[in-house]
Amino acid sequence: MKKILLSFSLFTSVVLFAQDCSNLFISEYVEGTGNNKAIEIYNPTGNPINLNGYRLIRWDNGSVPPIPPTDIMDVDASKVYVFPDSLTIAPFDVLVIGINYTSDPDPAQNTFPELLAKIDVVVSHTCNPSQNPPTRAVCHNGDDAIELQQLVGGVWHSVDIFGCIGEQPTNASGTYNPTGGWTALDPYFTIPPSYNATVQGPYWKQYWTANHSMIRKPTILKGVTVNPTAGQLGPPVVASGFNPSIEWDTIPVNIFDSLGTHTCNCSYLFSTEEEQFTQIKQVIFPNPAGEFITISATENMYSIELFNMTGQLVKQVYLSGLKNQAQIFVGDLPKGIYIVQTHFSNQLKQTKKIVVE
């Protein structure tokens, strides 16, 4: 009876929440110093999602779309990244896009190696518009909104919105230079009328989105598809509809440890009862890999599959006898990112991402 009740409870959860875990959303927003910028996209579904028909837009400095954001067709191409159909995000996995800027004489302005190691797709090597980069979609500062869109029926629709399109947060002086950011203090986009810098410190210390990384809370199961209402400076001051603390956690600048993976309750809602109550620990090393990878797990394995980022199966290995550790030759694979799917003797499977160098 206990097992039946557990199964029914899980089924009820999936029915109630599956509609939320149904499309991609932004899981991390990296706004580091200099040219340390990245956006992480998460697949909350139990199936691979091909990125054909998706694009990312940076709405900088309060810029607004020509028509409502759920129906955008024509935008500034220099601030748009259209995902190629060669990219696929595995179930409950992420794709990190960013820039690789290395041409500044000041090393502090260049992309740090520790961030570059986490980036799956480099979309540009410069944010300087005079150098005609292919896109500046990921050249955001803390006062820029980011939107993920999907083409449906010939119309681009919002899949997720970070920030508030059409709103530019101000600094402590009520101006936009130096750059401001959204905060967790009402009215969220500008300094509160009662703010006391003597007691609370400089206002810039309250920024959540400027010189910080933002991580989506595990309880968030879908993106924001309706643009928040922009605040008004007044008087009276009307608060912004974007309070970053509701859906996001913020971490200090230039910390990239969390990038490349995302924890979301969707992975539990889509899993089977056995997956929820059976803990399998699996380690793949070295990662990045050279000629070989070693897979070690707490459960016996019987086969291992490797997929490239287009979803193509590139290697399949059947183990002779059940083993909890296996060494796989990957030196014959082109350099790049691969999804390793391990099949266990208890009929469960796990997927992990590796880099072959």
288 and 256 belong to one structural domain:
no
The pLDDT of residue 1 is above 60 = no
Burial of 167 (0-12, 13-18, 19+ CB in 10 A): buried
The pLDDT of residue 14 is above 50 = no
pLDDT (0 to 100) of residue 271: 53
Which three-class secondary structure state does DSSP give residue 14? Answer: helix
pLDDT in tens, 104-125: 788 888 889 999 999 999 998 8
Helix (H) or strand (E) holding 268: helix 266-269
pLDDT (0 to 100) of residue 297: 87
The Cα angle at residue 68 between residues 67 and 74, in degrees rounded to 5? 40
29 and 177 belong to one structural domain:
yes
59 and 190 belong to one structural domain:
yes
pLDDT in tens, 127-144: 888 888 889 999 999 999
225 and 168 belong to one structural domain:
yes
Euclidean distance between CA atoms 175 and 325, whole angstroms? 59
Residue 321: give its domain's CATH number. 2.60.40.3080
The pLDDT of residue 257 is above 50 = yes
184 and 286 belong to one structural domain:
no
247 and 302 belong to one structural domain:
no
35-40 mean pLDDT: 94
251 and 293 belong to one structural domain:
no
- 7 pLDDT band (50/70/90 cuts)? very low
pLDDT (0 to 100) of residue 17: 37
Last residue of one domain, picked from the residues 269, 304, 323: 269
32-55 mean pLDDT: 93
The pLDDT of residue 248 is above 70 = yes
Euclidean distance between CA atoms 310 and 289, whole angstroms? 19
pLDDT (0 to 100) of residue 324: 86
Euclidean distance between CA atoms 97 and 139, whole angstroms? 11
Q: How many CB atoms lie within 10 A of CB 310?
A: 13
The pair of structure tokens assigned to 286 is 């070295």
- Point out the least confidently predicted range of 64-73, 259-268, 288-297: 64-73
The pLDDT of residue 68 is above 90 = no
Q: Say what the pTM is.
A: 0.73
pLDDT (0 to 100) of residue 15: 34
61-90 mean pLDDT: 77
Q: Please give the share of the chain, as a percent, with pLDDT higher than 90.
A: 53
Most confident of 67-81, 277-291, 295-309: 295-309
Residue 67: give its domain's CATH number. 2.60.40.1260
| Sequence-distant (≥ 6) Cβ neighbours of residue 111 within 8 angstroms | 34, 35, 36, 98, 99, 100, 101, 102
295 and 234 belong to one structural domain:
no
Euclidean distance between CA atoms 71 and 270, whole angstroms? 31
Q: How far is CA 72 from CA 22, 57, 166, 222, 225, in A?
A: 22, 11, 14, 20, 13
93-114 mean pLDDT: 88
Among 254, 142, 255, 138, smallest CA distance to 207 is for 142
DSSP 293-334: EEEEEEEEEEEEEEEETTS-EEEEEEEEEEEEEEEEE-TTSP
Average pLDDT, the chain: 85
HSE-CB at 133 with a 13 A cutoff on CA atoms is 21
The pLDDT of residue 319 is above 60 = yes
- 165 pLDDT band (50/70/90 cuts)? very high
Q: Please give the share of the chain, as a percent, with pLDDT higher than 70.
A: 88
pLDDT in tens, 209-232: 999 999 999 889 999 999 999 999
Domain that holds residue 140: 2-269
Euclidean distance between CA atoms 223 and 250, whole angstroms? 18
288 and 174 belong to one structural domain:
no
